[in-house]
Amino acid sequence: MSKRYTKAELEEIVYKQLENLNAMHDLLSILKFQNDLIQNINRTLREEIGQFKEDQVMYPKRRMRRS
């Protein structure tokens, strides 16, 4: 049993699908922006950790005296 749709019903379905596609596009844009922010923060953090390791002063360990 197939249902027959009127032109108005089909237009409404297509309009709702278009709204959903636009909403998904907006969400994807937000996710892309957040991903870019995370990548930039990770890059900065990696550079700061590398700089910290270069600047870190290593003190010699004390030798244990044998009695």
pLDDT, tens digit, 9 for 90 and up, residues 3-46: 999 999 999 999 999 999 999 999 999 999 999 999 999 999 99
pLDDT at res. 37: 98
Residue 34 lies in a domain: yes
How many separate domains does the chain show?
1
Please report which confidence band the pLDDT of residue 64 belongs to, taking 50, 70 and 90 as the band edges. confident
- C-beta of residue 29 within 8 angstroms of C-beta of residue 37: no
Residue 11 lies in a domain: yes
Residue 65 lies in a domain: no
Residue 67 lies in a domain: no
Q: Is the pTM of this model over 0.75?
A: no
Please report which confidence band the pLDDT of residue 67 belongs to, taking 50, 70 and 90 as the band edges. low
pLDDT at res. 36: 98
Residue-number span of the structural domain to which 22 is assigned: 1-55
**Closest C-alpha to 43, from 51, 53, 33:** 51
